[in-house]
Amino acid sequence: MKVYFEEIPVSTNKRFELIDITDKVEEAVRNSNIRNGICLVFAPHATAAIVANEHERGLMEDILTKIQEIVQPERNWKHNLIDDNAHAHLGGALIGADRVFPVKDGELVRGTWQNIFLVEMDGPRSRRHVIVEVLGE
């Protein structure tokens, strides 16, 4: 059994933003030299999330629109008495910061329209990072 870790540094430029990290995740899987196993994509952040979906400009805006409607950044959340980012925590909690993909024959398995994104909800941030862990043989 092998376990391989890679860390992808991410800088974000807006308060809400989708950052496509698909290429870097696939590169990490290749770097791992693992043929069959799983790939965990994990953001160690409480105000960001990981999602898999299509890289299409309009859809990426739709996703951010819907998330903001759900988490309501301008609402007087209780957490905002001590900080100003309750909405981002809500998004992180509900969407989740971990996604798991199969690895088969040395390649990440994903659908044609399943690109992998870090969801920034409390940007801009210069020091986000995503942990890619590949486990298998």
Min CB(47)–its own copies separation in Å: 8
Nearest to 77 by CA among 60, 64, 91, 65: 91
Question: Which of these segments, 8-16, 23-31, 110-118, binds its own copies (CB under 8 A)?
Answer: 110-118
The answer to the question of residue 78 lying near its own copies (CB under 8 A) is yes
Q: Would residue 40 be called left, alpha or beta, if left means φ above 0 and alpha means ψ between -120 and 50 degrees?
A: beta
**CA-to-CA separations, 45 to 99, 109, 113, 120, in angstroms, rounded:** 14, 25, 25, 10
The answer to the question of residue 6 lying near its own copies (CB under 8 A) is no
Residues at the contact surface with its own copies, assessed by CB under 8 A: 1, 3, 5, 36-38, 40, 42-47, 51-54, 56-59, 61-63, 66-67, 70-71, 77-82, 86, 89-90, 92-102, 104, 109-114, 131, 133, 135-137
